[in-house]
Amino acid sequence: MNWQLRFKNPHFWFQILIAIAMPVGAYFGIKAQDVTSWHILWTTLGKAIANPYVILTVAVSVYNAIINPTTKGVRD
């Protein structure tokens, strides 16, 4: 994979952010308007890191954001 090119692309980082935020938000039933302070955000992230199921769903989501389905294996 051309990691240097991906790291420079803002769309890649947006995909990674969404791949992390969506499973965490879905598991805890959080909507965007529920996160009204940094304390709430960090508390929720701490709970997510402590939960193996959430970590697994985030890992699968990030893998799906990284993988290129048009090529064989994990190459670009």
Give the DSSP letter string of 22-61. Answer: HHHHHHHT--GGG--SHHHHHHHHHHHHT-HHHHHHHHHH
In this prediction the pTM is 0.80
Residue 14 lies inside a defined structural domain of this protein = yes
What pLDDT sits at residue 38?
A: 93
Domain count for the chain, please give it.
1
Residue 45 lies inside a defined structural domain of this protein = yes
Residue 17 lies inside a defined structural domain of this protein = yes
Residue 15 lies inside a defined structural domain of this protein = yes
Dist CA 58 CA 51 (whole Å): 11
pLDDT band at 18, cuts 50/70/90? very high
pLDDT in tens, 60-69: 999 999 887 7
Dist CA 25 CA 6 (whole Å): 25
Residues 23, 58: contact at Cβ < 8 Å? yes
Residue 74 lies inside a defined structural domain of this protein = no
Amino acid at site 1 = M
Range of the domain at 47: 10-66
Residue 29 lies inside a defined structural domain of this protein = yes
Q: Which two tokens stand for residue 55?
A: 């970590």
